[in-house]
Every structure is written in structure tokens, then in C-alpha cells.
Amino acid sequence: MNSKTKIFGLFAFSLLALVLVSALGSAASLTIDNVNYPATVSHDDGSFDISFDITNAGVADPAIGFVLSMTSGDATLTMSNVPIADGPVTISVTGTINFPKYQSGNLVGKVIVDDQGSGGPKEVPFSISINAEPALEISQTQEITPTQDGKIEVKNKGNIDWSDVDLTSAGDFDVDFSSNNFNLAAGETKIVTVTPTNLGDVGFGSKSITITATANDGTTANLVMSLAGSFCKAGEVGGNLEITDVRIDNKGEGKDDEWKLLDIIEVEVTVDNNGDDDVNDVFVEFGLFDSAGKNYVGDLEFENADEEEYDIGRIRDGSDETITFSFKVPADFEDGSYRLVVKAYSDDLGEDEECTALSNDHDVEDKYTNIDIQREDDEGRFIAFDNIEFTPAEGTCGERILMTFDAYNVGDEDQDRVKITLKSSEFGIDEFYEITSDLDIGDKETISFEFTVPQDATDKFYSLRLSAQYDYKNGNYKLVLDDDVTVSFRVIGCGVTPISGDRIAIISAVLDSDEAVAGEELVVRATITNVKSESAIFSVDGFGYQSWASLDDVSPRSIEIASGESKDVMFTFTIDEDAEGEESFDIEVRDSAGNLETREIAVNIAGTSTPSTRFNLGDNAFLWIIGIVNVILIILIIVVAVRVASK
């Protein structure tokens, strides 16, 4: 090798050494301390922070980087590059290690701190224990109905794998599970169909079951599944019938959806047949449920004979029918919140084949209307009277009458003492009765008054007035009813001389039919009371009805009644088509000795809706006939005259 080559080699080596020395002189010199991270984490925490101090003893570095390396578990690092100044200097840094749910064991790894040039990165190791957290959850994904299975989702929300999950149920009905005793890894879900068995009638209330999931390590979870109630026994089925109108009309003191005790309520219901065929034997039923699903409709006092259910009969396709429920809220009805419902179903097809209980007029999901039944808060109306009866129902001159009724505390305060008064200036009645044994909220007291119909009374309706004083303090009543309650009592038969000297019986009667309508059947229930001192056999008959009805039956016509006791006799009439207004007939009762008792009974007849096609000639029928004959003769004379003139 020549000298030039040696000189060039030494120069190159010297230059390289200078570069290396320069590079080493410009590199950062890093140390790590004060490392912090949690000892344990929950599998669903999702992340944790790791922090530490970096000390630089060398020159500045504009971008120290961080890299995560995992040896156990799954995680990622969120940590931005940071600059560091010339040393000596110390900075604190924090990174976030993110990890997915459902892991178990440990998260083990290290954060590599790279000074971007030294070639000797620093490591920040960590090891964190993941807590063992078994967790099981059941949720409902599809509700159970009388015609639909339910569905549930069973989810392993913990970080422990299970080899067996067992489903059981307990409650108002039994169920079958589409899958049971299954594996469920951490984070895994299982959809299971729940089929009700032995369901029975659900009614408007609801039925429920509790489903329990139990894992092989004893971890459990519960879910209550409620079967939505419907007034229809099998829920909404069929689709031909539709309730298009539910109209509530409070005739009393309260509002349509806020009823007071003794209010008269009318509920009008319209049912449409939207199908292509007639629906036979359609029934409309009314219900009033509390929040627990108990039906209190039987406690209402209905005016119609069928009470809470109407038999509409057949509804032709495309037609509708309207019926009205009419009832009184009894004075002893429990106040509170209720749900008014109606349903229409076909008894011919079966309620489980054709039934609807939905209506757009309801205020809660078309299923029911909320009704609030309230006690009286007006202190001038705290006492009410109900179930007022007279025995006999009508009286005659000199007859002794027993009046009974119930006095209720319908207010919102207990009463220690209440004074009830009965007055009638025409009968000369001014009596009172004191309730001294408390009349608390909702309590009632049955009270009786007796009075005699004056001998000089006339046949008409008389008014008797009931009132009450209450809020008894220091020997005085502080409150009195704002308005007297007026009760009508009819006096009839005064001035009639009895055939026998001594009375043998008392006769009273009431209408047993809903009402008296021309052209329809009328049933009158007569009550015969034996006032003789010994048992007697009576024969019973009716007279004086021939001008407005025919008498079809008297049952029984002969009855034996013990002394002081009463029995009923039913009179069945067919009312004439043209009968209308007030009519009457006589009930005659005769004993075996020939003694006779009579009683006139008045009947108010409603006319038919079909107009009559007959001429009414009135009391001057003969004159009408003569007039008609004269008109015919005049017409004949004119015809003959015209023919003669034409010839």
C-alpha cells in the first residue's frame, strides 16, 4: 500500500470516528421511574391509565415515542409522542391502555419508550390482575300474549365461562323453554323461546311468572314476564267485531271520568260488524277493574235487567248495534282508581274465536278508560240516603206505612253522631232518629220510620223530606245537609168503601217488567199481606184492564198465607197496540169466607214507535160514518149527472 492510500484511509477513519462521537454526543440519555398503574381492574372497565417519569441526562429529543407490547391478554395503547428538553430534565407522562370486555386472568405487557435515535429504548413493564366477575342477565325480547310465545335473551355479562345454564319458572302458569341446560361463554348470549302452558283465562288483570337462570357456579338472574291481560279471555281474536264508540255520561254530581257515590252513569257502546258474514249471538259486556285486575262491576247497581251484559243477538255484515249500560254508584262503593272496559264477543262462534275489547275512545292504549271514584268533600253533602222502600209500596187512607232506608256517610270525615229527620206537613210527620254509635267514612245505618196515612188524604203523590245533622261537638250539631232529599209516596184508593167490615189483607204492587210498552208483555208483581189473626187461603184476580190490555195469567190464583206474612202473585198482561198514557186495573183478594179486599194499581204505558194505520173516529164514530156516506152519495150524484149531460 502506498503512502497516499494510507493517508486517505486514516482520514476516512478519523472522519467516521468524528461522526460517531458527534452522534453519541447529541443523543438523549433517558431513565424511567415513578411508574404507576392499578393492581386490578374489572373486565368491563375498558381501560386503565399508566403513568411514569422520564429523566433526560442528554440532549433534547423532539419526539419520544411509545409502543405497547403484550405477553398476556389483549390491549392497545393510546399515548402520543412527547418532546423533551436538554438534560438534566424530568417530565411526567400518562398513557391509556384499552382492553375489551370479558377477559380473565392478567394483563401483562410493557410500554416501550423510544428516544428516536439512541438505539437503546427503555421498557416500562406492568402486570394487572383482572377480577373474576361472574354476571348473568335475562331480558325480554318479545312479550307473551294469549296467542303469542314470548322470547328472552340470556346473556353472560361476566368474564367466567359456564358449561351449564339451567332455566326454571314459577308463577301463575307453566312454560316450556325452547332450549335449556346450555353452555354460555363469557360475553355470549342465547335467545330462548318461552311457550306458556296451562294458561287458563287471563281476564283483564294480568298473569306473571318469574324465570330464573342458574349457572353451574351458582350465579343466578331473574326476570318477571307478565302476560298482558285482556277483557277477552283469549285476547283479541277474530277481527269481525269492532267497538267503534264508548261514550260515558255522568247524570249525577261528578264528571264523566270522576264519579261520586250515588251518581247515575250511562255508558253507550256501539259495536260494528266489519266482516263479510253475519255474526250471531253477539254479547256486549261491561267491566270495572282495579289495578290488581279485580272486577267490581257486580257491586254497581244496574237499572237494566241484564246488568253488566247485553245480548244483542245477530249483527249483519256491515251493520252496527248500540246499547246503553245504566247504573248507580252505590253509596258504599270503595273509592279509588278503576279501569272501565267493555268487550264484544260472539257466543255462537265462541269468545276464544271472536272477541274484541279495544276502542279508540279509551284513554289508555285503546284498552280502558281511567275512572276515579271519589268520596264527597263538600261538607254540606256528607250524608246520603239510598235503598228507600215503603211497605206497602202505596198506601190508602188510615193505613200504617213502614218506611226504611240506609243512611250513608259518603263524606271524607268520620262522624261521631248523626241526627236523621223525616218531615211532611201534609201527613203531619216531624220525626227524628239519632245514630249515636258513630258513622265513620263508608259506614251505613238502616233506619225505619212508621207513619199513618191521614183519613182525609186524597189520591195523589205526597212528598216526604229527609235531612241530616252531623259534625257533633259539645252537645250540638255544627252541620246540616245543604238540601233535603224529597221522597214521593203515592196514596190511592181513598174514599172506597170496603165490602167487608174488617180488613183481610194489604195489597201492594210493583212493575216487574223493565217498562210498560204498548204491544208488549207487562208483568206486575203484587204482594199480598195477611192481616188476619190466623192463616188464610186467598183467591186473587184482576179486573178493569179490558180497555187497554188482555190478562194472560195470574200465578198463583190461590195462595195460603200465614198471619202477618206476605206472598207474591204475578199478573201477566199483553198491552194493546194503541194503549198509551196512564191506565189502571184492580187487584181483588177474597178469603174463604167471601170477604173482599181491592186495590187499584196504576200503570204508565209508553206508546209504540210504529205509527198506527187505523182511523181514530173518537167518541163521535156514528156521526163520522154518516158524513162518509153523504160524501159517497154526493160523488155518485155527480157521476150520474155528468153521464146524462154527455148524452
Nearest of 75, 85, 24, 76 to residue 54 by alpha carbon: 85
The continuous run of DSSP H or E covering 639 comes out as helix 621-646
Nearest of 570, 559, 528, 419 to residue 481 by alpha carbon: 419
Q: What angle do CA 64, 65, 70 make, to 5 degrees?
A: 145
Number of H helices, E strands in the chain: 2, 44
* 554 φ, ψ (degrees, to nearest 5): -125, 120
Q: How far is CA 395 from CA 398, 489, 508, 509, in A?
A: 8, 8, 8, 11
Alpha-carbon distance of 483 to 20, in angstroms, equals 117
- Cβ neighbors of 195 (< 8 A, separation 6 or more) are 149, 150, 175, 176, 177, 178
Strand 76-78 relative to strand 47-56, pairing: unpaired
Q: How far is CA 615 from CA 42, 401, 575, 577, in A?
A: 99, 46, 20, 14
DSSP codes joined into one string, 525-539: EEEEEE-SSS-EEEE
Quick count: other Cβ atoms within 10 Å of Cβ 210? 13
Nearest of 181, 203, 186, 192 to residue 225 by alpha carbon: 192
Quick count: other Cβ atoms within 10 Å of Cβ 613? 5
- Cβ neighbors of 218 (< 8 A, separation 6 or more) are none
User: What's the maximum distance between 2 C-alpha atoms anywhere in the chain?
Assistant: 179
pLDDT of residue 117: 52
Alpha-carbon distance of 229 to 524, in angstroms, equals 43
Amino acid sitting at position 544? G
Indicate the pTM of the whole model.
0.52
Compute CA 567 distance to the chain's CA centroid, rounded to the nearest angstrom: 42
What is the per-residue pLDDT across 256-280, written as a single tens digit (0 to 9) for each? 999 999 899 999 999 999 989 999 9
Q: How far is CA 342 from CA 109, 320, 364, 371, in A?
A: 69, 16, 13, 14
pLDDT of residue 47: 96
398, 455 contact by CB (below 8 A): yes
pLDDT of residue 205: 63
Output DSSP code: residue 299: G
Quick count: other Cβ atoms within 10 Å of Cβ 476? 8
Amino acid sitting at position 623? L
Alpha-carbon distance of 605 to 515, in angstroms, equals 8
pLDDT of residue 498: 43
Amino acid sitting at position 308? E
Nearest of 96, 222, 104 to residue 167 by alpha carbon: 222
Nearest of 82, 83, 77, 90 to residue 124 by alpha carbon: 77
Amino acid sitting at position 422? L
Low-confidence ranges of the chain (pLDDT < 70): 1-27, 116-119, 200-205, 304-306, 495-501, 607-647
Alpha-carbon distance of 134 to 216, in angstroms, equals 11
Nine cell digits for residue 166: 339451567
Nearest of 227, 217, 167, 220 to residue 197 by alpha carbon: 227
- Cβ neighbors of 552 (< 8 A, separation 6 or more) are 521, 572, 573, 574
Output DSSP code: residue 298: G
pLDDT of residue 234: 78
Nine cell digits for residue 392: 206497602
pLDDT of residue 179: 95
SS3 6: helix
211, 215, 217, 222: CA torsion to nearest 10: -30
Alpha-carbon distance of 443 to 259, in angstroms, equals 19
> Can you give the three-state secondary structure of 342-393, one letter per residue?
EEEEECCCCCCCCEECCCCCCCECCCEEEEEEECECCHHHCEEEEEEEEECC
